[in-house]
Amino acid sequence: MASIMLTEDMIVPLAVFALLESGCREVWITHSAAMGIEPTDRDGDVEGMKRVYGPTRRLAYHGPHQDRNQHQMSGRVR
């Protein structure tokens, strides 16, 4: 067991990281919460949630390598 002391400012970034790493396709940040949209969530339900919660920011892994880094000179994916 271990513990860590975090400032309140680190709670939202940690929540975003945890939700994306656990498989959420997108994370919304609202005025009071971080919400994860899972791959199994239906598009109609997601649109309804978007109207109700009105996310102020949307975050997701995008691009050809998702969360992987690509070396710009060699093109190698790490």
Spell out the per-residue pLDDT of the chain, length 78, in tens: 888 898 988 999 999 999 998 999 999 999 878 999 999 999 999 999 999 988 899 998 765 545 566 666 676 665
Residue 46 and residue 27 in contact, taking contact as beta carbons nearer than 8 Å: no
Rounded distance between C-alpha atoms, residue 44 and residue 19, angstroms: 21
Rounded distance between C-alpha atoms, residue 8 and residue 77, angstroms: 35
pLDDT at position 1? 83
| Helix, coil or strand: residue 17 | helix
Find all residues with CB under 8 Å of 43, minimum gap 6, and list them: none
Can you give the pTM of this predicted structure?
A: 0.70
Exposed/middle/buried for residue 46 (C-beta within 10 Å: 0-12, 13-18, 19+): middle
